[in-house]
Amino acid sequence: MAPMGIRLSPLGMAVFCLLGLGVLYHLYSGFLAGRFAFFMLSEPAAGGPETPHGSAPGGAVDLRELLAVSVLAAVRGGEEVKRVREGNVLNAKAKGKTREGAEEQLTTGDLLSNRKMFYLLKGAFPAVQINSEERVDTADQETVSWDHSIPEDIKQKIQPKEVPAESVTVWIDPLDATQEYTEDLRQYVTTMVCVAVNGKPVIGVIHKPFSSYTAWAMVDGGSNVKARSSYNEKTPRIIVSRSHAGKVEQVARQTFGNKTVIIPAGGAGYKVLALLDVPEKNQEEADVYIHVTYIKKWDICAGNAVLRALGGHMTTLTGEEISYTGSDGNEGGLIASINMNHKALIEKLPDLEKTSHK
């Protein structure tokens, strides 16, 4: 009952109640909406959207799918590399110096290939860490979609295999042998993708843009490439970087004999392919691949994975396995071989390790 002498207006009471309801709505609507959104995200309704490809329940990824996307990424990146080179619009510039003092080149081919490869892989596998040689400019983001198709040769040779997304690191080299690319030495140029699980390389893709040849392999899975079978450990053919040929030649001849053949070449991807049975007329053949200085992991990860899948080896010059986590560089040089006594090779090269940190 209202106090004596005061009459409550029904209209006033209605206005007061509406104002009160408005205050309560303002205070609690955001909270309720947030809780509702959380519920919808945490508990999908039956018949709702399926889990996206490349990301299985529990934060897992299917390595077969990741291999398929890696092959596609290397090819798509290679298309950019080839288009820029054939159009002669490289716009080459120095991006810094190597530890040895040589100028490192950067071209439009590097940048466009990197953009295509990175965003294709990231779009298909958003939860996976991707390391690339070139910087990814978020202001220049590109939408590159994967149609979820898996090539028939991969379907036939590779079984689905899920691993935790947090255990995966992808290494991209959007243009290997940039120096040779600027010199129009096209046979050395590759685009590469590598997948490492817990630091071990398990998927490798090496694509040659100017011949459209692609080699891929998956450890404990399968491959579309084979190792060569003709080797001579007494007088091996050793493939090395063009800039390191003189440094390696003297020690190599002292170690293996005067008949040892030194093959100067560009690009880590090309050098690994030299150890394999590759149907390429411009591909040289070698028995051992040696690198005696610091090298980046995106240069060697794909080749390491391919060799491991085929029973070969790539280690530091002292025989240590190379981990593809942490820093992006490998300090210990490398020696790679297949169908050879890798341990015996390392024991023959004690002097080369001393040069690997220079």
Q: What SS3 class is residue 73? A: helix
Q: Is 152 within any annotated ligand binding site? A: no
Residue 210, classified by CB atoms within 10 Å of its CB into exposed (0-12), middle (13-18) or buried (19+), is middle
Give the alpha-carbon dihedral of 317, 291, 72, 136, to 10 degrees: 100
At a CB cut-off of 8 Å and minimum separation 6, what does 191 contact? 74, 75, 77, 78, 81, 113, 117, 173, 174, 175, 176, 207, 209
What is the b/e burial string over 85-103, where b = at least 16 CB atoms within 10 angstroms of the residue's CB?
Answer: beeeebeeeeeeeeeeeee
Instruction: Return left, alpha or beta for 351; rule: phi > 0 is left, psi -120 to 50 is alpha, else beta.
Output: alpha
Residue 343: which H helix or E strand, with range?
helix 342-348
Q: Is 277 within any annotated ligand binding site? A: no
Helix 108-124 with 63-86: angle, nearest 10 deg? 160
Q: What SS3 class is residue 254? A: helix
Eight-class DSSP state of 262: E
Q: Is 137 within any annotated ligand binding site? A: no
Residues in the chain: 358
HSE-CB for 153 with a 13 A CA cutoff: 11
Catalytic residue among 108, 110, 214, 315: 110
The Cα 136–Cα 111 span in angstroms is 9
Q: Is 176 within any annotated ligand binding site? A: yes
Q: Is 173 within any annotated ligand binding site? A: yes
Catalytic residue among 108, 169, 178, 190: 178
Eight-class DSSP state of 261: E
110 flagged as catalytic: yes
- Shortest CA distance to 187 belongs to which of 273, 124, 118, 112? 273
CA dihedral sign of residues 243, 245, 251, 252? positive
287 flagged as catalytic: no
- Annotated binding-site members: 133, 173, 175-176, 299
- Annotated binding-site members for Mg(2+): 133, 173, 175-176, 299
Name the residues annotated as catalytic: 110, 178
